[in-house]
Amino acid sequence: MASSGDHASNEIALEFQKKVLSRPMTEVRMMANAVRALAIDGVQKANSGHPGMPMGMADVATVLWTKFMKYDAADPHWADRDRFILSAGHGSMLLYSLLHLTGYENMSIEDLKNFRQLGSHTAGHPEREEHPAIEMTTGPLGQGISTATGFALAEKMLAARFGKSLVDHRTWVIASDGDMMEGVSHEACAIAGHLALNKICVLYDDNSISIDGSTEIAMTDDVVRRFIGYGWAAKRIDGHDPVAIEEAIKWAMRNRKPTLIACKTIIGFGAPTKAGTSGTHGSPLGNDEAAAAKALLGWTAPPFVVPEEVLTPWRAAGARGEGARRAWLKRLAGSNRRAEFDAAMASELPAAYSEAMDALRAKIAETKPNLATRVASQMALDAIVPVVPEMVGGSADLTPSNNTFVKSMGTCLPGDYSGRYIHFGVREHGMGTTLNGLALHGGLIPYGGTFFIFSDYCRPAIRLAALMRARSIFVLTHDSIGLGEDGPTHQPVEHLASFRAMPNVLVMRPGDAMETAECWDVAMHHKDGPVLMVLSRQNMPTLPRDHGAENLSARGGYVVIGAKHQRKATLIATGSEVAIAVQAHEMLAKEGIDVTVSSVPSFELFDKQDAGYREEVLGEAPRIGIEAAVGYGWDRYLGDNGTFIGMHSFGASAPYQKLYQHFGITAEAVVAAVKAKL
Amino acid sequence: MASSGDHASNEIALEFQKKVLSRPMTEVRMMANAVRALAIDGVQKANSGHPGMPMGMADVATVLWTKFMKYDAADPHWADRDRFILSAGHGSMLLYSLLHLTGYENMSIEDLKNFRQLGSHTAGHPEREEHPAIEMTTGPLGQGISTATGFALAEKMLAARFGKSLVDHRTWVIASDGDMMEGVSHEACAIAGHLALNKICVLYDDNSISIDGSTEIAMTDDVVRRFIGYGWAAKRIDGHDPVAIEEAIKWAMRNRKPTLIACKTIIGFGAPTKAGTSGTHGSPLGNDEAAAAKALLGWTAPPFVVPEEVLTPWRAAGARGEGARRAWLKRLAGSNRRAEFDAAMASELPAAYSEAMDALRAKIAETKPNLATRVASQMALDAIVPVVPEMVGGSADLTPSNNTFVKSMGTCLPGDYSGRYIHFGVREHGMGTTLNGLALHGGLIPYGGTFFIFSDYCRPAIRLAALMRARSIFVLTHDSIGLGEDGPTHQPVEHLASFRAMPNVLVMRPGDAMETAECWDVAMHHKDGPVLMVLSRQNMPTLPRDHGAENLSARGGYVVIGAKHQRKATLIATGSEVAIAVQAHEMLAKEGIDVTVSSVPSFELFDKQDAGYREEVLGEAPRIGIEAAVGYGWDRYLGDNGTFIGMHSFGASAPYQKLYQHFGITAEAVVAAVKAKL
């Protein structure tokens, strides 16, 4: 490795460690040592993992979990619990140890012994689906601290709706140097500061060590100054001094701004030789250092054993919140908002929703508008948002282009969270993490808009939503060269393929106003993952299809126009290109060439249909695929004898009609492709 | 739109505008008005574009381009010119107007009239390939200001190598609120501050307006305070006061830190009613407002006409640098480093390179090591870096995992840029933009490492590299479930597909040490776009293939083991899965089943081969594709009768051998798939 600075920081750390250990033993340190010992043991047994962070942050976490955080280990689903986010997800043994010590179900010593093994609850990084007390999946740095903005905003919005007697809790984050360096933390923490989300408290593990060595080799920015610039309150403390930790947390709880507590800690605290070095970050300590660390800490129990005198106060801490929870249940039971609150938390759609959707469909069927799908999406939102109070939305500074604002929503403001529209600023990534937090918190159905091209900027958040099955809805307009003059920097060509390849993501690219309404209807019922609504800038006609009650888009693909007699080809298109297929159909019909036009707004939904249905839509005749995007991935539908008409390069800057001509995505090209197959 | 705050800011802006216009006319304002008039005209004629920013920043740009910036319009290729980056690329008419006024070739009035038309040099956003004076493509916000870190670092590194007499220039950036909000600006500007890149000066268009309205609705963070936190010097000025602008630029040039000058400006300066509103940002002013703006500015010339008395001083400014350029040419001609300098700027590989590569190949052929490809990549770097002084590299805080450091490189430090290794910190996006800047500057061949999964975090930079054809090399290790215990947050499954779908990107996933060396050899010769080296964490054997002099990987795919008699199937694999195919081949051979094993390290290179060669590699027998990733996109090779063995979901946390078993990516599964075809 290059000059790591480890040596100097190791010396300083060992000096600091000596000083801390010379202080009289406290109950906090004894309890924290249980966390350290379990973290050491879990990582040693797996022979893989990150002991350094749990050892360093054990004191801070112990103070938080034993004195301040509101939770009841008996019920991880309690809606008014404080949320705890381990942004530094590599320190997962910290969280697993805390859950075990405080007495959560399904986090036994056996579970800790199975750390990082197939099928365990104790994955390498905390996985939301593995345990109900894991509020979110973390590990990709920056995501936890940034998703906290969404959790905390959800609390504010729900408190504005239901009042403090039902909603009054905090969001706690443990974050690392890596979280601070990631750009997403800038975006989301600036949003949190702007919106004055004072119930976020970030406990920053300021341990001065990253994988390459001392943070001095790469990270010399002043984190405290930066956060003050965001409108946060921020201070530095000794992260091994229980009194200082306690005072700082009290300060945070009193504060009217979001708070950052930079806790000066020693990574791998307790390790006699490796403390304060990157050597403790991502590898087991080794048997000798592990044993010596326990000795230095005064921990004499065998591996994976927590002595009764330490476990007892921990279990008591885990039950500390029982009274608060029972009092809350009583308030909920006595509330006249109870049914509404329960429905919101279950994300049940009201009866008025179906009525609004039916009315929208009827209107489109009657008027057959010629609209951009982004405008059709606005129509859908205008119908849905007023009748679904859980819907909250916003845009990354493209409101007039994304068509995401509904008049009755009101704007979410610092200090007044009754408005449902959020101005995220030019912060796609921060928007993505905020949407995820809003979705994971429960009680809200969030959506956010940007240009489809800028999905690249929030891709890590979309992936994490997919992994966590968070129902964040992304409204992605300007979906192809059809946006015209802004040119190739703004024209997605590979983005459809890139998201179709991502598991658990529902990508929908509707081809007219009716499909747009249908796709929104699918999105509103889709609870187990993110949805991408991929929408056009340019207008397109309503398709000449059956406009009855069935949601044809929900099948992912369907026949728009069937061949009259014998199908000579199937034209398969999505979004704005379905209209080109329809136009080609007309031209071919004039020449007596009989073809079918199929629309495939969603590959994922279509792939779930039975083989017979899929075969009907795709047909046995030669298949022509048409999409203003690269063809990567289309072969699955086109087969060995198919032809793809689309993009083979980045786009260009010109009026969009010229671009369609220039890149050969035209009805004429489709006609020629069909004829070449005859 | 939601509450925009436009109204209040409009009033304040009009008041400020009145004050500015009441000041006596200066030559700067007159010259700046030429920029404003051309920007208005270009956008009006295209009926599309962004007049607000050029009108607001015209005074700042005029002072910079007429008094300080070092350039000679007669030679945009002058190696020691200052670099100018329009990070707020939507204001492209500002740059085009400046290039026209200062007298660059291929930027005539006709070009300005063709703004945003197909095939013009004047695309909607500045496109690097359209004009040599466009240093980089901009438009996706955050990229320009962040790529500046790379440009400025290149200058420092080359100055350290060649001395100030040959390399001594600055990097100027015009950036917007959007640039400041994007997270990538945090990462890259923190790097610039850490490395004390004092020759960057960012002129920040602090106009308080974004698309959704006043920045107050979303952006209340203190930019100046934040940049001071990064180790920059930062101050605020009146962006319409030529004297203040001049003083501030002088201050920046004296400073020992990178500098940010926040210029308080009025978006759409001159527009009598729309100034200071988002209405001037992304739409033409309209004929009436355009005419009224010119009247208010005192601009009487017809559209697209610049009066002689204004053009003359502009052209003189464009020739200001001629003397400096001639003096530099003389110094270069007289330098004993001239040949070396020219070779570096042309990125010519030295003769020693081929020798080193040959020796590496011979060593691998002889020792047939069992290595992770990330370790094989380290071997390649150990061979290449010492003999190619243009190679500079680093890692986003994963040096020991990415295997990117070569001992002889030395570390690049603040104030001492002679070391060639850069610690980027946990800043993948900032690393990506820095690599792009290093590559675009010329004279360097940059590479940077992170985990493959975190390519998501720098995807916008990779896309821009592809669009600009910048030769940034990304070393992406831990490429599949093969990384094991860190689990699904760290295991790429969709990333290969997502980058294969992106135009102009060369993705290479070698399958052993020899292929790794070959892929590095391809990368070293690949000058027209980014290269992704996708590498394993886990070991794999050297493949039983021809180890002669031919670079088989350069063909993208090749036959590793040919069928002996009659090919019953072709096993097609990449990376670590080629070894599985070889193992399956052995098992099948024992049963007398004759199959071919083909390795396809690069789809892009393979697709460029002639049909005959491709057919030979893929064969006519049934094809089995094997890759520890999703199969999206594989159908192109497997055809209607193929079988794909790979991932169908996200991964899991466990030792990697267990994961390969769990997900059914095994030689046994391949054997079964072959038998099912017989």
Which residues of chain A fall short of a pLDDT of 70? 1-8
pLDDT tens-digit map of A4-20? 455 667 888 999 999 99
Instruction: Test B116 with A430 for CB contact under 8 angstroms.
Output: no
Q: Assign B3 a pLDDT band (cuts: 50, 70, 90).
A: very low
CA distances from A433 to A232, A429, A446, A471, B73 (A): 19, 6, 11, 12, 45
Tally C-beta pairs within 8 A across A and B.
352
Binding residue positions of A: 50, 90, 139-141, 177-178, 207, 209, 281, 374, 401, 454, 478, 486, 490, 537
Instruction: Test B225 with A229 for CB contact under 8 angstroms.
Output: yes
A494: left (phi over 0), alpha (psi -120 to 50) or beta: alpha
Length of chain B: 678
- Report the alpha-carbon distance of residue A332 to residue A166 in Å, rounded: 7
The strand pairing partners of B413, in sequence order, are: B416
- Judged by a CB distance cut-off of 8 A, whether residue A660 touches chain B is no
- Judged by a CB distance cut-off of 8 A, whether residue B193 touches chain A is yes
Instruction: Test B457 with A229 for CB contact under 8 angstroms.
Output: no
pLDDT tens-digit map of B82-107? 999 999 999 999 999 999 999 999 99
Q: Assign B215 a pLDDT band (cuts: 50, 70, 90).
A: confident
Which positions 403-462 of B are in contact with A (Cβ < 8 Å)?
A: 405, 409, 411, 419, 421, 423-427, 429-430, 453-454, 456-457, 459-460
The strand pairing partners of B446, in sequence order, are: B392
pLDDT of residue B211: 85
Give the one of A212, A459, A485 whose C-beta lies nearest to B456's C-beta.
A459
**Tokens encoding A527:** 């609870």
Chain A residues near residue B457 by CB distance under 8 angstroms = 140, 182-183, 460
- Report the alpha-carbon distance of residue A666 to residue B677 in Å, rounded: 40
Chain B residues near residue A137 by CB distance under 8 angstroms = 489
Active site residues of B: 428
In the chain, the amino acid numbered B306 is V
Instruction: Test A653 with B123 for CB contact under 8 angstroms.
Output: yes
pLDDT of residue A7: 61
Pick from B276, B305, B274: which is nearest to B290 by CA?
A: B274
Instruction: Test A2 with B194 for CB contact under 8 angstroms.
Output: no
Residue A104 backbone dihedrals phi, psi, to 5 degrees: -65, 150
Work out the burial of residue B469: count CB atoms within 10 Å of its CB; fewer than 13 is exposed, 13-18 middle, 19 or more buried. Answer: middle
pLDDT of residue A451: 98
Pick from A376, A310, A270, A345: which is nearest to A51 by CA?
A: A270
pLDDT tens-digit map of B242-295? 999 999 999 999 999 999 999 999 999 999 999 999 999 999 999 999 999 999
- Judged by a CB distance cut-off of 8 A, whether residue B604 touches chain A is no
pLDDT tens-digit map of A542-580? 999 989 889 999 999 999 999 999 999 999 999 999 999
Q: Any binding-site annotation on B97? A: no
* pLDDT above 80 for B205: yes
Q: What is the mean pLDDT of residues B343-347?
A: 94
Length of chain A: 678
- Judged by a CB distance cut-off of 8 A, whether residue A486 touches chain B is yes
pLDDT tens-digit map of B420-438? 999 999 999 999 999 999 9
SS (HEC) of B601-669: CCHHHHHCCCHHHHHHHHCCCCEEEEEEEECCCCHHHHCCCCEEEEECCCCCCCCHHHHHHHCCCCHHH
Hey, of A121, A194, A426, which one would you mutate to test binding to chain B, going by the most B CBs within 10 A of its CB? Answer: A426
DSSP state of B542: P
**A327 to chain B nearest CA, in Å?**
37
* pLDDT above 90 for B465: yes
- Judged by a CB distance cut-off of 8 A, whether residue A651 touches chain B is no
In the chain, the amino acid numbered B101 is L
pLDDT of residue A6: 58
Are B166 and B324 in contact by the 8 Å Cβ rule? The answer is: no
Among candidate residues A428, A515, A518, A577, the one labeled active-site is A428
Only one residue has tokens 């030789």, namely A273
Pick from A643, A585, A37, A54: which is nearest to A306 by CA?
A: A37
Element (H or E) spanning A451, and its range?
strand A445-451
Give the one of B212, B649, B650 whose C-beta lies nearest to A397's C-beta.
B212
**B590 to chain A nearest CA, in Å?**
33
Chain B residues near residue A123 by CB distance under 8 angstroms = 487-488, 652-653
Q: Assign B495 a pLDDT band (cuts: 50, 70, 90).
A: very high
pLDDT of residue B10: 83
pLDDT of residue B9: 74
Q: What is the mean pLDDT of residues B341-346?
A: 96
Chain B residues near residue A6 by CB distance under 8 angstroms = none
SS (HEC) of B64-130: HHHHHCCCCCCCCCCCCCCEEEECCHHHHHHHHHHHHHHCCCCCCHHHHHCCCCCCCCCCCCCCHHH
Instruction: Test B654 with A141 for CB contact under 8 angstroms.
Output: no
| Crossing angle of helices B308-319 and B92-102, rounded to 10° | 90
Q: What is the mean pLDDT of residues B125-129?
A: 97
Instruction: Test A183 with B178 for CB contact under 8 angstroms.
Output: no
Give the one of A1, A215, A409 whose C-beta lies nearest to B400's C-beta.
A1
Q: Tally Cβ neighbours within 10 Å of residue A492.
A: 30
- Judged by a CB distance cut-off of 8 A, whether residue B225 touches chain A is yes
Which 3 state secondary structure label does DSSP give B325?
Answer: helix
Instruction: Test A489 with B464 for CB contact under 8 angstroms.
Output: yes
What value of ipTM does the predicted structure carry?
0.97
Instruction: Test A225 with B225 for CB contact under 8 angstroms.
Output: yes
Q: What is the mean pLDDT of residues B233-249?
A: 98
Q: Tally Cβ neighbours within 10 Å of residue B367.
A: 11
Instruction: Test A186 with B185 for CB contact under 8 angstroms.
Output: yes
pLDDT tens-digit map of B129-142? 999 999 999 999 99
CA distances from A374 to A476, B537, B609 (A): 8, 44, 41
- Judged by a CB distance cut-off of 8 A, whether residue B81 touches chain A is no
